[in-house]
Structure 1
């Protein structure tokens, strides 16, 4: 059962749940499009940073460092979303 204590403080009724799911399905293509655009920008940004790092004579980061950095960026973005 879906519960959103912050917004309504109780379980959703079946009708409310159906309405929420219908809205989510209607907006999904736009949400997915925005996510793909954000992901592409993120990858391009990471590649540019890595190229600048190598151009400056620094060693390239290993995959583990890149994955950790990406995770930190995702966590930061999530924290920013929750603050607004």
Structure 2
């Protein structure tokens, strides 16, 4: 698998699952230059922006196409994200 980078910091947002809080997992993120972002305990609104983003991807891209494998979906998903970022201006 090859990674495509935008030159900006990569942030990995996730819920409070114990697998994401594990030291080994957080060390793996850090070793790859990925910034962890975990929802605050008891704050359901903290995750709302990411849930909205995933909903938008599903509606705009995923529900209209059948991908035989994850690998065939990746180029379209990456292109979609790049297009959205370029149309929305700086983050």
TM-score (norm 1): 0.40
Q: TM-score, normalised by structure 2?
A: 0.38
Larger strand fraction of residues? 2
Structure that is richer in helix per residue: 1
Larger Rg: 1
Structure with the bigger RCO (C-alpha within 8 Å, sep 6+) is: 2
